[in-house]
Every structure is written in C-alpha cells, then in structure tokens.
C-alpha cells in the first residue's frame, strides 16, 4: 500500500486538554461535538471526507477546474488575486484563447499581455506572469516546474499561490491559506486574534497543512480505481485527486457558504463541529481588519484632437499602472488649482478653451478618485509646443491597454464618433432623397 511521508505534526488528543484550545479557553460543552485547536488526525480526516463529498456535489463549474494544466491553473490563480470569480471567467477564457500555452505567453509582446489584462487592475500581476513565463521557457524549456520551492521562487508567486498550483495541478499535499480558507478555519476552530498576526497566522497555516496531509493519507489508504487522466469531481467515492479537491473545497466553502456576512451555516458540511457557530460568534471571527481611512483625490484629463487623432501618452515604469496608456492628465491641488493653469502645465501650451466632457469616479486601493475630463482647444500653430506623446486614432488606441478610467474616456470618445458618423449618414441620405 502506497504511503505518503510524515504529516506535519498532527496531534493526538490529550485527555487533560480535551475541550480546551492552546490558550486554555474552553470551546466544548457536554453533548456538542466541536473541535479544539489540537484536533486529532482522526477528527481532521473525518472533516476531510465531508469536505470532499460536499465539493463533489456542490463545486461550481469553473473553466479552470476542467483541466490539470499547471499553466492554465497558474493564470487563473494570478487573475483571482483580489478579483472576483465572475469578473475573472471571461478574462481567463479570452487569455487562454489568445495565449493557450506557456510558450505563447513567454513569446508574447508586453503590449499583447497588457491588452489581454486591460480592466483587471493590479497590473504588476501580469508583468510578473510574463516575466515568470520567460524564465520557465529559458530554464526549463517551457515545462512548468513541479517542485514547490521552484514554483515559489517564480516572480509574483507567494506561499499561497505556490501551494494552490502544486496541489491543484499536481495533487501535492501543499497547504493553501487565502482569505476564504482563513475564514473557514478561524470559525471552525475558534481562532482568535488578527489572522495576519504571527501567532494566529502560524496556527492557520498549521491547520491548513494538517487538512491537506490528511487528504493525502486518505487517498493513499483508499483502493485506487482504474487511473484516469483527469479525475472528475464526482469521483469522490475513491477520493482521487484528494489534495487538489481538498484545497479547492476549503476555498469553495469560504466563497459560497462560509461568507464574510450572512454565512449559510445550515448548508455547511462542517457546521456540527464549528466552534464559532456553537459559541454564537460566526460574525465575529475571524477578527475584522481595521479599515484604513479613504483618501479623496481629484484629477483633470485633457483631450486634444488633431485631424481625427488624439494625444495620448504611456505611463513610465515604476509607477502605478506602469506602461499603460492614458490621456494627458494631472492631479489638482487640494486648494483647487486654476483649471487653465493646470491645463497649460500639463499640455505645455495654454489652450484657447476648455469644454467639459464627463466625470469619472474610481478607486485605487483606498484612494477615491474623481477624474474630470475636458476637451482642450489648442491653436494649430501652438500644437508643436505640446508635451511629448503620441497622436493616434481611436481605432489605434483601442488596440492598446489603457488604465481603467482612461479606457472609459476612450470608449466615450468612440461612442461620440460613432454617433457623429450616424448623424452624417442620415443627413447625407436626407439630401439624396430631397434631390
């Protein structure tokens, strides 16, 4: 019988501490079956079985769950960082059509990968993805590494992402701990304190490791059916791909059942063992993070047009939204700079007029930004004095990756141009009929 190596210090229950967590706090009352932080391998294995069975029945049908290709799973994990699943699905599908292999990504231009990522935000993610693919192609001939430490060493990959890739793609017993898993484990075991703090975070990682190692043992001790290339989720009876499905089940449970607010405890397969539910503290755990105060900022963007071409510029390296495109803009001072002066400083020449086009509100981390957009009228003989940039048509601009707010400006201009063409055609048709 195949065995896995030693699990990470799974503790057997000690009679003296039964019903107490490591801090000596009582979490169990007579007749209620809840866990302490020193749960035994047998207890955790029972939870693992329930999670695997629940996941086989209730897992969402997400496109990256239909493959074990580490490249496809890697792309999904990077996209899912700080981004909702419903937002990621169309982006992932479009990405995989355009760049179906790691080699295709490594050989793609920066403009191509930025355009495919346009709108997802946090663009350092896609630059690291591109750089890591180039490293893998150069060092491994395009073969994605299977060793956890090698995966962890790639640009843009941390402990969680490395564990997710190795467990989901290769069925390795590597733990994961994202926000969803933190919430499940903190409530299930009644873990106090800031989950990002050293003590609580170490306990959470330890528990995550216990779960996935118990899943590996469960798979090793279960008679194996006829091998399949990619075991389907419904094959939970034999617990094939147990490490992969176990980690996904913890993440899925936190995403759809053990949610931050109004969790569906009645639908949870672990409800009977949940310390937080038993103690009426589900909404209190994990400890909420203090909210940082929002910062209001105001910008002005200036649209300059010349013969159907618009002045745009590319953001430099080392700044937020580096390498993306935008229209000339500047931050307005807290005292409210004179608009004409701000436009002259931004464009390099004083416009003869400014016409308000629209206002766009958006957020970057805790910054709440209002972007006021103006059409700037500049005399023809002064246009050579404009700040450096590129003149391009809207069709050319559409092929480049713009920042989210400036992408909305581009779409507004394209809509206006389309409406103008429609009006022109109608006038032409009317003149023809009158003739």
Contact yes or no for 312/326 (Cβ under 8 A):
yes
Q: Which of 142, 61, 161, 145 is nearest to 100 (CA)?
A: 142
DSSP 195: T
Residues recorded for the chain: 435
Per annotation, catalytic residue among 77, 118, 192, 219: 77
- Catalytic, 77? Answer yes
- Under 8 Å CB-to-CB from 47, ≥6 apart: which residues? 188, 211, 270, 273
Q: Supply angle C-alpha 31, 180, 404, rounded to 5.
A: 160
Locate 369 and state its tokens: 């930004």
CA atoms of 173 and 342, how far apart (whole Å): 57
Q: Which of 59, 91, 61, 65 is nearest to 78 (CA)?
A: 91
128, containing H or E segment: helix 124-140
Number of H helices, E strands in the chain: 15, 8
- 303: helix, strand or coil: strand
Query: Under the phi-then-psi rule, with left for phi > 0, alpha for psi from -120 to 50, and beta for the rest, what region is 190?
Result: left
CA atoms of 398 and 375, how far apart (whole Å): 19
Catalytic residues: 77
């Amino acid at each position: 019988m195949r065995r896995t190596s030693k699990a990470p210090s799974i503790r057997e229950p000690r009679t003296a501490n039964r019903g107490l967590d490591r801090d000596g706090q009582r979490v169990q009352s007579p007749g209620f079956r809840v866990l302490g932080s020193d749960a035994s391998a047998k207890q955790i294995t029972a939870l693992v079985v329930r999670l695997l069975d629940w996941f086989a029945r209730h897992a969402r049908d997400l496109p990256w769950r239909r493959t074990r290709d580490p490249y496809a799973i890697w792309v999904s994990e990077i996209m899912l960082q700080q981004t909702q699943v419903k937002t990621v699905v169309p982006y992932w599908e479009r990405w995989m059509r355009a760049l179906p292999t790691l080699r295709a990504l490594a050989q793609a231009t920066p403009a191509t990968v930025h355009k495919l990522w346009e709108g997802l935000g946090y663009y350092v993610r896609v630059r690291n993805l591109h750089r890591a693919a180039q490293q893998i192609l150069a060092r491994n001939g395009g073969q994605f590494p299977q060793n956890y430490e090698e995966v962890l060493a790639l640009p843009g990959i941390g402990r969680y992402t490395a564990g997710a890739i190795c467990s989901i793609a290769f069925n390795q017993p590597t733990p994961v701990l994202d926000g969803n898993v933190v919430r499940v484990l903190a409530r299930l075991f009644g873990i106090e304190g800031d989950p990002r703090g050293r003590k609580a975070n170490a306990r959470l990682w330890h528990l995550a490791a216990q779960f996935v190692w118990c899943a590996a043992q469960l798979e090793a001790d279960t008679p194996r059916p006829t091998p399949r290339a990619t075991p389907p989720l419904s094959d939970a009876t034999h617990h094939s791909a147990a490490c992969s499905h176990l980690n996904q089940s913890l993440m899925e449970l936190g995403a759809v059942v053990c949610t931050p607010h109004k969790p569906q405890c009645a639908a949870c397969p672990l409800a009977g063992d949940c310390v937080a539910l038993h103690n009426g503290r589900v909404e209190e755990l994990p400890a909420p993070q203090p909210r940082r105060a929002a910062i209001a900022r105001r910008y002005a963007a200036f649209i300059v047009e010349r013969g159907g071409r618009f002045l745009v510029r590319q953001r430099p390296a080392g700044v937020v939204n580096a390498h993306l495109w935008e229209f000339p803009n500047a931050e307005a001072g807290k005292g409210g700079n004179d608009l004409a002066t701000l436009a002259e400083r931004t464009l390099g020449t004083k416009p003869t007029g400014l016409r308000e086009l629209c206002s766009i509100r958006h957020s970057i981390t805790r910054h709440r930004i209002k972007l006021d957009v103006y059409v700037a009228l500049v005399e023809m003989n002064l246009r050579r004095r404009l700040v450096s940039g590129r003149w391009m048509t809207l069709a050319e601009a559409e092929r480049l990756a713009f920042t989210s707010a400036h992408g909305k400006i581009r779409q507004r201009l394209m809509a206006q141009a389309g409406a103008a063409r429609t009006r022109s055609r109608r006038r032409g048709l009317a003149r023809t009929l009158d003739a």
